[in-house]
A and B are shown apart, each in its own frame.
Chain A
Amino acid sequence: MHANLQQTKGGSQTGRHVIFLPNPLPAELVSDFLSKLHYVSESLLSFELNTHRDAVSFCLVSDDPQQGSIVSDRIRQVAQKLQAAFRRDEPRILARRDVEPTFQDDPHPALEAAGELFCFGRGRFGFGPRLSQLIDYFDLELFSSAGRFNATSHKFPTLLGADVMERCRYLRTFPHSLSLVTHLREDMDAIHDFAATAHWDGKGLACNPEHLAKAKCFLSPNVCFHCYAWLQDSRNLKPQSFTAVGKCFRYESGNLSGLERLWDFTMREWIFVGPREYVLEQRRLATEISIELLDRWNMTYEIRSAADPFAVDQTAIASYQMAFDLKHEVQAALPYKQATLAVGSLNFHEDFFGRALNIEIESGLAAHMGCVGFGLERLALAFLAQHSLDPQRWPAVVAQNLKSW
């Protein structure tokens, strides 16, 4: 049974509603469907899809029958839109390596018990010295490998302008995962009133929203947009590669789960800008390097074609990504749940950002771009999930670099 009874908010659940979907959901859509239901309504407390994939039962935080009807309609809409956009795509496997699992436990409890993992809130974790060291080790390896692309190292802010996000169409394609940034208006009365009245009400910050300024920035969802924004309106650009590490933010509601899915995570990126052939060749090289690294870490993984989790109304774009082979994902095994986790992605953006941000290469054509991103916390989790917290069971090359474990 595909069940997801995770509570999305506090409070006691009320009457159970059951709705039938117009058509049974294809098995391939189940995980996407369930992940999108978290955004249906704040009043949706829990939900479950039946084994026939044609009915959803759910509970709301209130008994309001009108709310039940609204939520039912929205759940049907999600199912209909996903099914309308769905095309059965067999993922293309680019590389695969299976290592006999020798460890089956979930590393989260042991990390917490060892004082290496601290939860500040849903999707927000702090790391102790050993886990930090492991994350830094992976980052250093990825940073060093960027030398093979002659990549230059850059540092970018965490804040990313809303103008850039709009030009990159992120507001339209991933609105559900945005993290907006605001501040108080430059208004003395507003500032005084905020200071006197703002407080934590147990669920969030209670304050007068009129005191808040219009959002000009977002917490950046990735690293490469800064790079593209830096190159905005460039002409005669030579082929070049960059690398940067940064904090990234994607709000994933009830899907947030431990180190598997963080709201606030760290990503090391390799970024390529230039003619189409250059970018595709760099991505091919990046795939080779990724395989070398994953093999050195003795990981069980698969690199395969994939698509992004677009907003409900934009899910058709996923078919475009698959058809044009734009996104490859590194899926690492998580033996404790007999599942895999995307720890990296290798993306070809065509000339989408070149045109969106008016970036031209020497030929006068819009620049093509590509990026490779590794989620460092996910990489660390997958490594520990496959090899345990005991360095004696790790590949020697990793253990030698982390002697304080």
Chain B
Amino acid sequence: MSKLQEFDRRVRAVAARVFDLSGDGVQEDLRMGNPPQWDSIGHMELLVAIETEFGVRFQSRDIASLITLDAIVQAVAQQDAR
């Protein structure tokens, strides 16, 4: 499993925990608004949980663009590469 795949798996696990998802729901193309729990409050709950999980810190200017799971995985990978 590549590092990116590993990040993807862990990010999805965090999203599943934060949004109370299970099974296929975690495998979907998750983005803000889908699932419905991923609203403004859910967004920050997810990002804070991701920060805790990976020991990373997202800047304010990034928060508005991290609205898909893929974008979050990429951001985590970028911070890991630094």
Contacts and interface: CB of A to CB of B under 8 A. Distances in A.
Nearest to B47: A316
Contact of B44 (A89, A317, A326, A350): A317
A324 B60 CA distance: 9
Contact of A316 (B39, B44, B64): B44
Interface in A72-95: 84-85, 87-89
A320 B40 CA distance: 7
B17 to A, nearest CB: 16
Contacts of B41: 169, 172-173, 314, 317, 320
Contacts of A350: 40
B23 interface: no
Contacts of B36: 355
B70 interface: no
A323 B40 contact: no
Q: Which secondary structure dominates where chain A touches chain B? A: helix
Contacts of B39: 352, 355
B40 A89 contact: no
Interface residues of B, number: 16
A326 B58 CA distance: 19
Contact of A323 (B45, B48, B61): B61
A125 to B, nearest CB: 34
Interface in B50-67: 58-64
Q: Which secondary structure dominates where chain B touches chain A? A: helix
Interface residues of A, number: 20
A319 B63 contact: yes
Given A169-B41, A173-B41, A350-B40, A320 B48 contact: no
A319 B40 contact: no
B60 A322 contact: yes
A207 to B, nearest CB: 36
B63 to A, nearest CB: 4
A319 B64 contact: no
B12 interface: no
B6 to A, nearest CB: 25
Contacts of B62: 323
Given A352-B40, A355-B36, A319 B45 contact: no
B46 to A, nearest CB: 10
Interface of A: 84-85, 87-89, 169, 172-173, 314, 316-317, 319-320, 322-324, 326, 350, 352, 355
21 contacts: A87-B59, A87-B60, A88-B60, A169-B41, A316-B44, A316-B47, A316-B48, A317-B40, A319-B63, A320-B40, A320-B41, A322-B60, A323-B61, A323-B63, A323-B64, A324-B40, A350-B40, A352-B39, A352-B40, A355-B36, A355-B39
Given A89-B60, A316-B45, A323-B63, 5 more contacts: A314-B41, A316-B47, A320-B41, A320-B63, A352-B39
Sort A-B residue pairs by CB-CB distance and give the 10 closest, nearest first: A323-B63, A316-B44, A87-B60, A323-B64, A320-B44, A89-B60, A316-B48, A317-B44, A320-B40, A323-B60
